[in-house]
Amino acid sequence: MPESSGFASAPRQKSAAAALVGELKRQLDVLDQINGLIAIHERIEHLKDVEVALAAAQEARQVEADVLRLMLALRHAEYLIDEKEAMRRLKVSESTIKRMRADGSLPFVRVGVGEKLVRYRPSDIAAIIGRSTPTGQ
């Protein structure tokens, strides 16, 4: 009998082994799918890093463009002078410069917080001086 039970168990062992091989193949397929998902996740994270880097580079380019525009504007800009310097250049009193400002004969700009400070363009002062100086002097 022991020999017959060995013969009968061989097909069962083969069947169990085949089932085990099948289960191992399914588990390997699941591991492959997990590895694929991990690779996809890593690519997504990499793309996020690239996206952040591209956004930072784009922002840096925008800042650089803003700085270049400001530098160009400053190259062509006039410096403003304060009221005392305007009075000195025009050789007028404080009351005269205020009257000129009020009647519109002296252009000015307001600057600073609340635009409380009055400033003048040197070119406007020079134009007034040029108009008041007789030709040939």
Residue 110 host element (H or E)? strand 109-111
pTM: 0.44
Are 73 and 97 members of one domain?
Answer: no
Question: Considering its fold, how many domains does the chain have in total?
Answer: 2
Are 19 and 71 members of one domain?
Answer: yes
Of 59, 77, 95, the domain-final residue: 77
Of 77, 99, 114, the domain-final residue: 77
Are 6 and 26 members of one domain?
Answer: yes
CA angle 130, 134, 137 (to 5 degrees): 95
CA angle 133, 134, 135 (to 5 degrees): 115
Secondary structure class of 120 (helix, strand, coil) = strand
Each residue's pLDDT tens digit, 70-115 = 777 677 667 899 999 999 999 999 999 999 999 999 999 988 777 7
For position 136, what pLDDT does the model report?
Answer: 47
Are 3 and 65 members of one domain?
Answer: yes
Q: Check: CB of residue 86 under 8 Å from CB of residue 124.
A: no
Of 33, 52, 77, the domain-final residue: 77
Q: Is the pLDDT of residue 68 over 70?
A: yes
> Given pLDDT bands bounded at 50, 70 and 90, which one contains residue 45?
very high
Taking alpha carbons only, the member of 76, 80, 93 closest to residue 125 is 80
